[in-house]
Amino acid sequence: MSATVPEDGGTADDALPVRGRLVTIVSVEPRSSALVRIYGTVSGRDVLDEWASANMTIRLVFPASAPGSHNTDDGRPPDRGTGPVFPSRVFTIADVDPGSRLVAIDVVKHREPSPVMAWLNQVRPGDVLGAADPRQHRLPGVGSPRILLADSSALAAVFSILTRLPVPGATSVIAAAPTDEVDLFADALKERIGDVVPRDLCVVRVPMIGDMPLSDAFAGLAVPCSASVWAAGEHEDVQAVGRRCRDEFGLPPESIQVSGYWRRDRDRGVRPGVRHRPHRGG
């Protein structure tokens, strides 16, 4: 069995083959008012231990949509050919059981139409998605304390980092997300890593006010020059965090890891996993 995966939302004519990788949907479960978790089994017989590494991402390919639909990672319509379009998106692997080959992916629901939302409204157990092999996304750099900033689109990444990349010392999570999502995140951390949470980890929800909630919250922090700062969320918001790290706090490039997961002017809704070019520090 084989699958073809269009790169960056291409048409069937320029699809890229992958090594027989399919994800068969097992269930779709609501987790909060705007958060849905998708469970699926990964095809193949290879060992999936690497999939359980910190902050792994996977590109999923959705069923063909009508030509001209918005399907590219930056929200622009395709302009190549007139054939069927296979939208693809990159998501954080929220959890994985290598033994059963069961993978979990969180999707933030939004009102704006998109191929992913259209698929989510009609998905059934047994449906199949194409998938490319996973890749590890950006991890926190060197430094202490660790400060991780995230909106709804990046909480799964933070959970993966904290549970699969334990680092002694103080860690603060600044979350610009609905209360129910932050509560769910904190409860899951307590269940997974137990006593580490009250002793070493502080989770703070900040108001989702304005266009730059993470940057605004970060501006009020006292950040030592020894800190490690990781931020992911809306592109302009986290880029502002990166600039403050460099220009105001004087952090070295290796201690700054900032990634824009979506763009307000293009996506208009929080779409987890849509990766843009990351900020690399300096």
Q: What is the pLDDT of residues 20-59, one digit of tens each?
A: 589 999 999 999 999 999 999 999 999 999 999 999 999 9
- Give the confidence band of 221 by pLDDT, cuts at 50, 70, 90: very high
Residue 14: pLDDT above 80?
no
Query: Of all residues in the chain, what percent carry a pLDDT higher than 70?
Result: 78
Q: What DSSP state is assigned to residue 121?
A: T
Residue type, 262: W
* pLDDT tens-digit readout, 223-260: 999 999 999 999 999 999 999 999 999 999 999 999 99
Question: Residue 68's pLDDT is what?
Answer: 43
User: What is the C-alpha to C-alpha distance for residues 19 and 23, in angstroms, rounded to an integer?
Assistant: 12
Question: Residue 82's pLDDT is what?
Answer: 54
Question: Residue 123's pLDDT is what?
Answer: 94
Question: Residue 199's pLDDT is what?
Answer: 64
| Average of per-residue pLDDT across 188-211 | 82
Closest alpha carbon to 128 in 271, 273, 274, 1: 1
Number of Cβ atoms within 10 Å of the Cβ of 220: 8
Alpha helix ranges (H) inside the chain: 115-120, 155-164, 179-193, 196-200, 213-219, 235-247, 264-267
* Range among 7-11, 58-62, 232-236 rated most confident: 232-236
Burial (0-12, 13-18, 19+ Cβ within 10 Å), 45: exposed
* pLDDT tens-digit readout, 134-147: 999 999 999 999 99
Query: Of all residues in the chain, what percent carry a pLDDT higher than 90?
Result: 64
Span between the terminal Cα atoms of the chain, in Å? 45
Residue 17: pLDDT above 50?
no
* Residue 172 parent element (H or E): strand 171-176
Question: Residue 266's pLDDT is what?
Answer: 61
Residue 86: pLDDT above 90?
no
**Contact between 91 and 57 (Cβ < 8 Å):** yes
Q: What are phi and psi of 104, to 5 degrees?
A: -120, 135
Spell out the residues 6+ positions from residue 187 whose beta carbon is closer than 8 angstroms to its own: none
Question: Residue 4's pLDDT is what?
Answer: 31
**Contact between 177 and 208 (Cβ < 8 Å):** yes
Please, what is the average pLDDT of the chain?
A: 82
